């Protein structure tokens, strides 16, 4: 006995064809949207990177002037330094590397000093040694302020024997 299955009519075939065509267009459109989202987010991430290279310098943007007030000490992990806004409103960028044996030195806000976790050296907000075994201050990096933007050149840490105002930048 022959089954009674309906055979597609001539109008159903183009309709099915049209449906598949639209389906493929939708899949392609979604693929293009996803691809442009991935490319866009990669570009955005790259442009957010605060590190730039300029003729032998490696510049880190450490924020705007109005983000700081005297007494602030802010870690800038991208540059491995602290930006200190001193009491006179000037800025000093201090390397976070201990001058004893190179450990990373955290800032202790409640004690207002850097305390090295390795052998206990301490440094004040100018990076000057308060407690040995470190014998010289934390290195510093030059700071520039342009249109309210604080820029720090981390291409070379500067060694010093003491603190003086030439190591800072006024706003
Ligand atoms: S490495 Fe900092 S005190 Fe030794």
Surface-to-core class of residue 143, CB atoms within 10 Å of its CB (0-12 exposed, 13-18 middle, 19+ buried)? buried
Is 106 found in the same domain as 44?
no
Is 100 found in the same domain as 19?
no
Surface-to-core class of residue 128, CB atoms within 10 Å of its CB (0-12 exposed, 13-18 middle, 19+ buried)? middle
Q: Which atom of ligand 1 is nearest to the CA of 134?
A: 3
Question: Which protein residues touch ligand 1 with a CB less than 6 Å away?
Answer: 98, 100-103, 116, 118-121, 133-134
Is 60 found in the same domain as 142?
yes
Mean pLDDT of the chain: 85
> How many domains does the chain contain in total?
2
Residues of the domain holding 116: 52-167
Poorest-confidence range of 29-38, 41-50, 81-90, 94-103? 41-50
Taking residues 7-22, what's their average pLDDT? 68
- pLDDT tens profile 56-103: 789 999 999 999 999 999 999 999 999 999 999 999 999 999 999 999
Six token digits for residue 161: 């024997």
Atom 3 in ligand 1: which residue has the minimum CA distance? 119
State the pTM of this model.
0.70
Cα(83) to ligand 1 centroid in Å equals: 20
Taking residues 125-131, what's their average pLDDT? 98
């Amino acid at each position: 006995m022959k089954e009674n299955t309906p055979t597609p009519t001539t109008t159903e075939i183009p309709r099915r064809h049209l449906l598949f065509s639209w389906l493929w267009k939708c899949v392609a459109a979604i693929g293009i949207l996803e691809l442009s989202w991935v490319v866009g987010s990669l570009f955005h991430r790259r442009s957010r990177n605060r590190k730039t290279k300029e003729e032998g310098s490696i510049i880190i943007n450490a924020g705007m002037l109005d983000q700081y007030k005297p007494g602030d000490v802010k870690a800038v992990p991208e540059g491995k330094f602290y930006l200190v806004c001193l009491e006179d409103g000037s800025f000093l960028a201090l390397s976070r590397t201990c001058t004893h044996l190179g450990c990373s030195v955290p800032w202790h806000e409640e004690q207002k000093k850097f305390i090295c976790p390795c052998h206990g050296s301490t440094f004040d907000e100018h990076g000057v040694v308060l407690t040995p075994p470190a014998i010289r201050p934390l290195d510093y990096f030059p700071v520039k302020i342009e249109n309210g933007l604080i820029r720090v050149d981390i291409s070379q840490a500067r060694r010093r024997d003491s603190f003086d105002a030439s190591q800072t930048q006024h706003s």
